[in-house]
Amino acid sequence: MATQERWLTDDEQRAWRALIGIVVLLPGALDRQLERDSGLSQIEYGVLAMLSEAPDQTLRMSQLAALNDSSLSRLSHVANRMEQRGLIVRRTCPEDRRANIASLTEAGLAQVVAAAPAHVTKVRELIFDKLTPTQLENLTEVAAVIRAGLDPDKGPPPPQVE
Amino acid sequence: MATQERWLTDDEQRAWRALIGIVVLLPGALDRQLERDSGLSQIEYGVLAMLSEAPDQTLRMSQLAALNDSSLSRLSHVANRMEQRGLIVRRTCPEDRRANIASLTEAGLAQVVAAAPAHVTKVRELIFDKLTPTQLENLTEVAAVIRAGLDPDKGPPPPQVE
DNA sequence: CGGAATAACTTGATGCTTCAAGTAATTGCT
DNA sequence: AGCAATTACTTGAAGCATCAAGTTATTCCG
């Protein structure tokens, strides 16, 4: 900062810079690999992957959004494009006619199956191959803690009353 | 995945999900805070912050891009907007007339100074307040390792020849 | 039962990012 | 010196994300 008070300790500074670096660079790295190898964006891959694991390869839009940490609006646009391309189909849910369920098509399934290996390899290459078992443990713990505090969308968490 | 082979171990899965969650959610959380409190995006804040720390509050576009993990193109667009708004000024570098140097204006400086406290508070709130000293240490280490492997833009790092 | 409130999306506009291409200045080679 | 290659950016177009507003369906409750 321009100002006096050192707002983060040196340790925190270093952690912060590295973390932001990851946050800024990782999506691009993954997107490029996916785009190049499979013509998919990261969220599209995520959608296909989640559907492929779901019972009947079908999920409600809202669930799909939650699973991908996406807003409903964003997912709706994405689903439009994917439907155009024939990767998924949507129909209104019979039990709740406000809701919309998306299902994998055969083409969609074929796409994920084809895309997965290279993607996983990239993930390994970028993350897990670099870590010792201890570091993996530490990552799992720390990432979970941070992630938990990021949920849509609590402001300052209510002070712990013990 | 839809397929047989469990491509990541359970531990890795959990780490991966949490990490992606962070990567997806953190930028939005920071952007919203900055936008709301100061009318800045994260990269705009980053530009102002880096300039404010630089000697003579001046940096070349390429340095500014590197410091913010941004492409030159992106930075160029951002700088255009910021120049319109009077937060920075640009002029060609005298030593190398291909290069362009950006400087903070007084208005720009005022902006960072005003924006910094709330932003730092948010960062603390989202990250550091949640971590024990040990976890901070672990984060620093792990994040640095991962970050290092993300640098523009090495493919598979050449196998370590000892 | 009937209207208000809420839920589950979709749509359109706006703005930012990225990508490809372009320009201008400098270096490097011979 | 002179031409090619490289560096440092800028620009314009295309695609995505986000935000606000709009639909349609369901629930709540008096």
Candidates A25, A68, A117; nearest CB to B69: A25
CB contact burial B75-105 (16+ within 10 A = b; e otherwise): beebbeebeeeebbebeeeeeeeeebbbebb
Q: Do A112 and B2 touch (CB under 8 A)?
A: yes
Task: Determine contact, residues B126/A149, Cβ cutoff 8 Å.
Answer: yes
* Chain D positions with a protein C-beta closer than 7 Å: 7-13, 16-21, 24-27
B135:A120 CB<8 A: no
Q: Does position A70 have pLDDT exceeding 70, yes or no?
A: yes
- How far apart CA A45 and CA B9 sit, in angstroms, is 20
DSSP secondary structure, A65-125, as one string: HHHTT--HHHHHHHHHHHHHTTSEEEEE-SS-TT-EEEEE-HHHHHHHHHHHHHHHHHHHH
Contacting residues of B for A14, CB less than 8 Å apart: 140, 144
Question: Distances from the Cα of A153 to the Cαs of B15, B33, B38, B153, in angstroms?
Answer: 22, 12, 19, 34
Q: pLDDT, tens digit, for every residue of B76-99?
A: 999 999 999 999 999 999 999 999
Class level of CATH domain B25-115: mainly alpha
- Poorest-confidence range of A27-36, A62-71, B1-10? B1-10
Of B145 and A158, which is predicted with more confidence? B145
Mean pLDDT of A27-42: 96
pLDDT at A152: 66
Q: How far is A37 from chain B (nearest CA, A)?
A: 14
Residues 6+ apart with CB under 8 A from A28: none
User: Region A19-42: what's the mean pLDDT?
Assistant: 96
A126 and B138 within 8 Å at the Cβ level: the answer is no
What is the pLDDT, as a whole number, of residue A162?
32
Q: Which two tokens stand for residue A22?
A: 């990851």
C-alpha dihedral (B35, B37, B39, B41), degrees to nearest 10: -40
Task: Name which residue leads in pLDDT, B7 or A142.
Answer: A142
Both tokens assigned to B43: 């990269």
The residues spanned by each domain of chain B are 25-115
Fold category of A27-116 in CATH? Arc Repressor Mutant, subunit A (1.10.10)
Beta carbon of A78 within 7 Å of strand D? Answer: yes
Q: Given an 8 Å threshold on Cβ–Cβ distance, is B146 in contact with A126?
A: yes
Q: What is the pLDDT of residues A71-128, one digit of tens each?
A: 999 999 999 999 999 999 999 999 999 999 999 999 999 999 999 999 999 999 999 9
A139–chain B nearest CA distance, Å: 6
The helix/strand/coil state of B68 is coil
Chain B closest CA to A63's CA: distance in Å?
Answer: 15
